[in-house]
Chain A
Amino acid sequence: AQSVTQLDSQVPVFEEAPVELRCNYSSSVSVYLFWYVQYPNQGLQLLLKYLSGSTLVKGINGFEAEFNKSQTSFHLRKPSVHISDTAEYFCAVSGSSGNTPLVFGKGTRLSVIA
């Protein structure tokens, strides 16, 4: 079984400042890792995913994440945020064999302040 912990429920940050949203996972098997973003009254949109290979993964909207196996972490970063980045961000993990459901963290609410 897998589990995901998002360490911060809310992160306020000023516009054009850098941001890091933290995610740690637990699993007894190999996993794939994902970050999704949810804007108000919308579904989840995939930001990026880690499957294998390079531990630094680049996604849409200028976001990137780094997989750290020894620390079981997959933190999301952006060097300069915009007002439009205000949303809920979810880290998720799935097993790497077959179609498996996603296990989500509780989410981090990113609020960008002008």
Chain B
Amino acid sequence: GAGVSQSPSNKVTEKGKDVELRCDPISGHTALYWYRQSLGQGLEFLIYFQGNSAPDKSGLPSDRFSAERTGGSVSTLTIQRTQQEDSAVYLCASSPSGGGSLAQHFGDGTRLSIL
């Protein structure tokens, strides 16, 4: 596709369940980022991939959160044993390699609601 694609667009699940969120970046973009947008905290960085490796995981809020990227393309963000405070919009962005001057392109996000 032309842009960053995220699925599902909405996810409702019960507390304690595991969830997987998917991001399909723009073709050829080697850098991929996950952010979380919540009412109380605004937009927060979670994790950054360059290719398949994650040189910066500093934003992951707890060990319940993990992410992987395979084939230098699709990424999956997994949240285990979900808690109500995990409710948020999870945004994925990608950019070409070459430095911070190349702006990140965002998907429409996954709205996660924990009951």
Contacts and interface: CB of A to CB of B under 8 A. Distances in A.
B42 A98 contact: no
A104 B108 CA distance: 17
B95 interface: yes
Interface of A: 32, 34, 36, 41-46, 49, 51, 90, 94-107
A32 B101 contact: yes
Interface stretch (B43-51, B62-70, B77-85): B43-51
A99 B94 CA distance: 10
Contact of B103 (A41, A42, A46, A103): A46
A43 B4 contact: yes
B1 interface: no
Contacts of B31: 99
A107 B42 contact: yes
Residue picked from B31, B43, B104, B109, most chain A C-beta under 10 Å = B43
